[in-house]
């Protein structure tokens, strides 16, 4: 029945008049009215089709309208639509057990939250209660969410306007081989120098004051920064040496994005706490949580945990989470992500890098990649400056517009064209979307000097 100009006008009118949007100057945005979604695709009311290489906000891991997830929610709604958190519920318990089964080491209890920010907020709260210390170390180039401590832990400009926030957070540099803050020339050296810097930060901030280090296992929005060999193990070792807890933020990379239940599994490290959200149920009903080690959980056997949320472990959200486990196992989603990542995406990313002078660096793993755009490969001058907006951001806006005009909705941040399709994306869709990225990079190339 598309196009439907009347329906589009009505959606737009209500939205513009009454919906207050995130992170935006309200008069400067024009949200796409979305009519429908299926699998990796959504449609506007004009009948334009968008292949979603952003998985919405990198959460739609099983795509739109997955029949198993829809059915699980419908069935649960018919049985028992809600139950408060201090009671025991079958789906909540089953989901917690299944998460514990795939979590590394002795992490085997789950505190459920409504999303990622409150997962990080509560993980930090647990770390503070457990250690009796207050300070938190977090990396520059990170995002941890929009609540007070999570936004203060965030290492990107979204923190700036919310400062001072939580005064007990300090930032350090994580590894970033392409623009190394440590002037290193190899990944191993990058990891070593980043660890030396972190250790100095710990010593100078005072280990006796630091409750936790929070780190995205693979940095997501801020650049798909895959940690170099040995880095995460080094962080684990420093935490052990100095009596600090290690919180892995896996809100974006957990549940399959890099072909693992938890991304730390790929790097063979066991944090003390892991936070998750997004992919746990593809965001069909809001859900996040903290996976807790036995050591920390045991502390709260006799000391009350001072935190809670009315909708913690909501049955509709948990039912979609249990269905997610069933689909992942039945359809081999993790294996699929690893296979597509290595066999299809990695070679095409390399091709794009070889072909386009605007590509300074490509990096990624599984179905999670970043293409870093520059005006000059020698100087690495960025296609647009850090945190550019308005006219300064025009070259990136041209790249984005080219993707959209070719039917692909990209994931972009600053000077990067990123890539995070649903994990059920087909090979044909991958090629079609990467063909559009190829054309969009022609646009980026026009700015090269
Ligand atoms: N942590 C990471 C790594 C994220 O990518 C995000 C959201 O993008 C969050 C935390 C915050 O999650 P939420 O928006 O569900 O609060």
Distance 148 CA to ligand 1 centre (A): 13
Distance 78 CA to ligand 1 centre (A): 30
Please spell the DSSP secondary structure of 80-139, one letter per residue. Answer: -S---TTS--HHHHHHHHHHHHHSSTTEEEEEEESSHHHHHHHHHHHHHHHHS--EEEEE
Chain centre to alpha carbon of residue 122: 18
Strand order in the sheet with 34-38: 34-38, 41-44, 49-52, 408-409
Mutation choice for ligand 1 from 139, 218, 252, 264, CB with most ligand atoms inside 8 A:
252
Distance 98 CA to ligand 1 centre (A): 22
Nearest ligand 1 atom to the CA of 253 is 3
- Last-in-domain residue among 331, 358, 374: 331
Provide the pairing of β-strand 411-413 with 416-419.
antiparallel
CA distance 175 to 222: 12
Say if residue 2's pLDDT is above 90: no
Distance 250 CA to ligand 1 centre (A): 9
- Distances from the Cα of 43 to the Cα of 49, 57, 284, 408, 428, angstroms: 5, 17, 18, 11, 18
Report the CATH number at residue 400: 3.90.1150.10
Mutation choice for ligand 1 from 114, 141, 142, 143, CB with most ligand atoms inside 8 A:
143
Domain boundaries, position 231: 68-331
CA distance 419 to 227: 18
Q: What is the mean pLDDT of residues 283-293?
A: 99
Same domain as 270, residue 345: no
Nearest ligand 1 atom to the CA of 115 is 15
Q: What is the mean pLDDT of residues 246-259?
A: 98
CA distance 243 to 167: 21
Say if residue 275's pLDDT is above 70: yes
Same domain as 370, residue 236: no
pLDDT digits (tens, 9 = 90+) for 290-306: 999 999 999 999 999 99
Distance 116 CA to ligand 1 centre (A): 5
Distance 445 CA to ligand 1 centre (A): 32
pLDDT digits (tens, 9 = 90+) for 343-394: 999 999 999 999 999 999 999 999 999 999 999 999 999 999 999 999 999 9
b/e sequence 337-355, b meaning 16+ C-beta within 10 Å: bbebbeebbbebbeebbee
Q: Which residues line ligand 1 (CB under 6 A)?
A: 57, 115-117, 120, 143-146, 216, 220-221, 249, 251-252, 277, 288
Same domain as 86, residue 140: yes
pLDDT digits (tens, 9 = 90+) for 32-91: 999 999 999 999 999 999 999 999 999 999 999 999 999 999 999 999 999 999 999 999
Distance 349 CA to ligand 1 centre (A): 26
How large is the greatest C-alpha to C-alpha distance in the chain, in angstroms? 65
Ligand 1 atom 13 nearest Cα = 116
**Number of domains into which the chain is organized:** 2
CA distance 91 to 69: 13
- Confidence bin at 271 (pLDDT 50/70/90): very high
- Last-in-domain residue among 313, 331, 349: 331
Same domain as 346, residue 318: no
Ligand 1 atom 5 nearest Cα = 252
Mutation choice for ligand 1 from 54, 144, 217, CB with most ligand atoms inside 8 A:
144
Mutation choice for ligand 1 from 21, 60, 116, CB with most ligand atoms inside 8 A:
116
- Last-in-domain residue among 331, 363, 396: 331
Nearest ligand 1 atom to the CA of 147 is 16
Ligand 1 atom 10 nearest Cα = 144
Same domain as 15, residue 81: no
Of 373, 360, 444, give the one whose Cα is nearest residue 415: 373
Same domain as 177, residue 204: yes
Describe the crossing of helices 315-331 and 90-102 by its angle, rounded to 10 degrees: 40
312 burial via Cβ count (<10 Å: 0-12, 13-18, 19+): buried
Q: What percent of the chain has pLDDT over 90?
A: 99
Same domain as 185, residue 324: yes
Nearest ligand 1 atom to the CA of 114 is 15
CA distance 178 to 329: 36
pLDDT of residue 291: 99
Same domain as 273, residue 309: yes
What ipTM score was computed for the predicted complex, to two decimals?
A: 0.99
Distance 60 CA to ligand 1 centre (A): 13
CA distance 30 to 25: 11
Q: What is the mean pLDDT of residues 255-264?
A: 98
Same domain as 148, residue 271: yes
Report the CATH number at residue 146: 3.40.640.10
Contact call for residues 352 and 437 (beta carbons, < 8 A): yes
Nearest ligand 1 atom to the CA of 146 is 16
Of 371, 355, 359, give the one whose Cα is nearest residue 447: 359
pLDDT of residue 1: 63
Same domain as 207, residue 91: yes
Q: What is the mean pLDDT of residues 202-218?
A: 98
Distance 288 CA to ligand 1 centre (A): 9
Same domain as 343, residue 324: no
Same domain as 378, residue 308: no
Distance 165 CA to ligand 1 centre (A): 17
Q: What percent of the chain has pLDDT over 70?
A: 100
Query: pTM score, two decimals?
Result: 0.98
Q: Which residue is listed with tokens 């959606």? A: 11
pLDDT digits (tens, 9 = 90+) for 114-167: 999 999 999 999 999 999 999 999 999 999 999 999 999 999 999 999 999 999
């Amino acid at each position: 029945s598309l196009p439907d100009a009347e329906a589009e006008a009505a959606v737009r009118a209500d939205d513009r008049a009454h919906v207050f949007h995130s992170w935006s100057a309200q008069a400067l945005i024009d949200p796409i009215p979305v009519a429908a979604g299926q699998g990796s695709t959504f449609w506007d009311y004009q009948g334009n089709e968008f292949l979603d290489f952003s998985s919405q906000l990198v959460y739609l891991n099983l795509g739109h309208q997955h029949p198993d997830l829809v059915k699980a929610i419908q069935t649960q709604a018919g049985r028992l639509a809600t139950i408060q958190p201090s009671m025991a519920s079958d789906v909540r318990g089953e989901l917690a057990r299944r998460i514990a089964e795939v979590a590394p080491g002795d992490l085997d209890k789950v505190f459920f939250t409504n999303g990622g920010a409150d997962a990080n907020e509560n993980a930090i709260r647990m770390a503070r209660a457990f250690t009796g210390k207050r300070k938190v170390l977090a990396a520059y180039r990170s995002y941890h969410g929009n609540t007070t401590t999570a936004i203060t832990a965030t290492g990107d400009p979204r923190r700036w306007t919310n400062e001072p926030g939580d005064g007990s957070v300090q930032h350090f540099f994580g590894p970033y081989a392409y623009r190394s803050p440590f002037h290193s020339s190899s990944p191993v050296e990058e990891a070593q120098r980043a660890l030396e810097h972190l250790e100095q930060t710990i010593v100078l901030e005072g280990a006796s004051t630091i409750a936790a280090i929070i780190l995205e296992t693979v940095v997501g929005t801020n650049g798909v920064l895959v940690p170099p060999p040995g880095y995460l193990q080094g962080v684990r070792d420093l935490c052990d040496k100095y009596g600090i807890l290690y919180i892995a933020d896996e809100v974006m990379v957990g549940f399959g994005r890099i072909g693992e239940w938890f991304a730390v599994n790929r790097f063979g490290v066991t944090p003390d706490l892991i936070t998750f959200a997004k992919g746990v149920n593809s965001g069909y009903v809001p859900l996040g949580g903290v996976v807790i080690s036995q050591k920390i959980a045991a502390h709260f056997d006799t000391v009350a945990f001072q935190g809670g949320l009315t909708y913690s472990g909501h049955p509709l959200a948990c039912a979609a989470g249990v269905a997610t486990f069933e689909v992942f196992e039945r359809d081999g989603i993790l294996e699929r992500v690893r296979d597509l990542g290595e066999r299809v995406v990695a070679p095409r990313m390399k091709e794009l890098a070889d072909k386009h002078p605007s590509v300074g660096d490509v990096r990624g793993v599984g179905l999670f990649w970043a293409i870093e755009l520059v005006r000059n490969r020698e100087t690495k001058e960025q296609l647009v400056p850090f945190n550019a907006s308005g006219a300064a951001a025009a070259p990136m806006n041209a790249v984005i517009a080219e993707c959209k005009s070719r039917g692909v909705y990209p994931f972009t941040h600053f000077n990067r064209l990123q890539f995070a399709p649903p994990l059920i994306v087909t090979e044909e869709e991958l090629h079609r979307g990467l063909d559009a990225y190829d054309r969009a990079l022609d646009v980026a190339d026009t700015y090269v000097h």
